[in-house]
Amino acid sequence: MLLLQVVIGGLLVGAIYALFSSGLTLIWGMMNFINFAHGEFVMLGMYVALLVVVWLGGGPAVFGFAAAFALFVLGVVIYMSLIREVLRGPMLSQILSTFGLALLLRYTAFWIFSANFVSLPQTSLSGTVDIGGVLMPVAQLVAGVVAIALTIGLHLLLTRTTVGSKLLAVAEDRQAAMLVGIRPDRMQALAWGLSAAAAGIAGALMATAYPWSPSVGETFGLTAFVVVALGGFGSVPGALIAGLLIGLIQSLSAFWLGAIYKDIVVYALFVALLWLRPQGLMGKA
């Protein structure tokens, strides 16, 4: 029973990995652009949740929507003010721009919130639930289920809606998309908004179960790159599978070998898989 609890816990954490990684893979699929500040978007989502709970007394539903809205706006602003300009420059400028943005967001958070770890006060998601003898924290269970639903929703948005068709049209051929009346800048700004919003919601969900500090974005950013590389760059279903897989491997490694070995196992398997299949699990060769 304990092993089953470990497996379920790992899958639930992996679902949140999948949600914030799907935003990173969306940007890569749309623009062939690597956003090194993506982990900081997750971190900001966590602080938005904290501010909503402390200042407004809002519950999980309120701070989830607040994090999504705040990060969506931030993503659009960053695209319109920074990314749109550096896209015209060399690849090195593109890489350094989001690396610098990550440092700016991280150290601004240090300045505002200090380096101390914080956690959310008691919410309606506090406590545990017994599911067939498996004890699960309510916050972790709700966060995992919501994360899976949102990741699937993002995939359906991209593949089953008119907006998704326009986003994919811009990703395939920007000039051809313009010829049929699609405005690429508007679609790419929307992609940045959706990517940041996914990270923001994931951050708010993580905040319900784990303490954090401004440096947590660095860890999440690295995790997102591993998930996207394993799942295949540009593939939301790939990010979902890879996220669940990494969460499960981390959980089982911590259970069998000890918590300090969980990341070593993940990164060793990550390197081995890229060696055998460089395009990732669901990427195209």
Judged by average pLDDT, the poorest of 106-120, 177-191, 220-234 is 220-234
The whole-chain average pLDDT of the chain stands at: 89
pLDDT band, very low/low/confident/very high, at 48 (cuts 50, 70, 90):
very high
% helix, strand, coil for the chain, step of 5: 75, 5, 20
Confidence (pLDDT) at 37:
94
Pairwise pLDDT comparison (279 vs 239), residue with the higher score: 239
Region 191-215: mean pLDDT is: 93
Task: Report yes or no on whether pTM surpasses 0.85.
Answer: yes
Confidence (pLDDT) at 50:
93
Give the separation between CA 144 and CA 8, rounded to whole angstroms. 10
Give the separation between CA 31 and CA 117, rounded to whole angstroms. 35
Region 19-37: mean pLDDT is: 89
pLDDT band, very low/low/confident/very high, at 232 (cuts 50, 70, 90):
confident
Decide if 199 contacts 38 (C-beta within 8 A). Answer: yes
How far, in whole angstroms, is CA 270 from its chain's centroid? 18
* Length of the chain counted residue by residue: 285
Decide if 236 contacts 26 (C-beta within 8 A). Answer: yes
Strand locations in the chain (E): 128-131, 134-137
pLDDT band, very low/low/confident/very high, at 28 (cuts 50, 70, 90):
confident
The CA–CA distances, whole Å, from 142 to 115, 138, 206, 209 equal: 28, 6, 11, 10
pLDDT band, very low/low/confident/very high, at 74 (cuts 50, 70, 90):
very high
From 119, 138, 143, select the one nearest 210 (Cα to Cα): 119
Q: Is the pLDDT of residue 2 over 70?
A: yes
Confidence (pLDDT) at 284:
60
pLDDT band, very low/low/confident/very high, at 285 (cuts 50, 70, 90):
low
Confidence (pLDDT) at 87:
86
